[in-house]
């Protein structure tokens, strides 16, 4: 009887995972940082004793683009998403720290992205002025079938090379960007606002954005967590056109 474990069965997902694993973030952090410039060190009670004044100050900072007070906080998220999402994600460098699982050191699991029924499949228009529209039933069937077949062939090739003793860092080259990866991403409210301004569409946004839907799904989930932690800051972000200070 062999002690070698059976390879995991391939699975297909249309969602993403976003978990807030730790944080040191609240509206009071913004108030502390802002008021030290005029009042020096203050207690938490002094900083937060007037809710309307706190709301007004945070809105003023957001409106007039005084950004540094929004950096004095921290949020760490666990994110599981397709590799192509992470390649876009890591264009955001200022105020972000990342640690992603490594295909050099562990065998990558066969979890792959296939668009769900709500994913618009067809792009219309020229670059810079285009929209996505619903695909036909035939296009949807084709997309799911071809992606799943391609993923399975790629993962079989990966397993074949590993079984032959090829190093993980070499064998992983055959795997597609639709493979799920996972990472910890740490940011502050200011860097998150920059991310959301580019990677989400919103009716209150003063500057339009056209994100790929899959990274927008991640952004929407991160925003939900952040809004609960820093409601005054989140409200000011929306009130002022969702432009990061």
**C-beta neighbour count of 245 within 10 angstroms:** 21
CA 7 to CA 82: how far, in whole Å? 20
Q: Is 62 within 8 Å of 240 (Cβ atoms)?
A: yes
| Catalytic residue (choose from 153, 199, 213, 242) | 199
Supply φ then ψ for residue 48, to 5 degrees.
-110, 10
CA distance 203 to 3: 56
Contact 163, 5 (CB under 8 A): no
* Residue 210 near residue 170 (C-beta atoms within 8 A): no
Catalytic site residue 199?
yes
Tell me the catalytic residues.
199
């Amino acid at each position: 009887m062999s002690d070698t474990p059976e390879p995991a069965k391939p699975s297909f997902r249309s969602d993403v995972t976003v978990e807030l694993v730790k944080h040191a973030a609240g509206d009071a952090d913004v108030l502390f940082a802002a008021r030290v410039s005029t009042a020096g060190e203050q207690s938490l009670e002094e900083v937060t004793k007037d809710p309307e004044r706190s709301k007004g100050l945070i809105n003023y900072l957001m409106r007039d683009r005084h950004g540094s007070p929004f950096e004095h906080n921290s949020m760490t998220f666990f994110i599981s998403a397709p590799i192509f999402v992470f390649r876009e994600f890591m264009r955001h460098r200022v105020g972000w720290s990342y640690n992603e699982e490594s295909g050099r050191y562990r065998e990558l699991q066969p979890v792959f992205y296939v668009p769900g029924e709500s994913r618009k499949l067809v792009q219309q228009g020229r670059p810079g002025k285009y929209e996505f529209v619903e695909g036909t039933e035939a296009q949807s069937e084709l997309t799911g079938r071809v992606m799943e077949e391609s993923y399975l062939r790629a993962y079989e090739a990966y397993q074949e090379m590993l079984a032959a003793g090829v190093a993980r860092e070499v064998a992983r080259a055959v795997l597609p960007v639709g493979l799920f990866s996972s990472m910890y991403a740490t940011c502050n409210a200011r860097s998150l606002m920059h991310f959301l301004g580019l990677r989400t569409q919103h009716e209150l946004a003063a500057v339009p954005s056209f994100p790929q839907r899959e990274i927008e799904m991640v952004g929407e989930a991160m925003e939900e967590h952040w809004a609960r932690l820093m409601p005054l800051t989140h409200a000011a972000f929306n009130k002022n056109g969702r432009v990061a200070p």
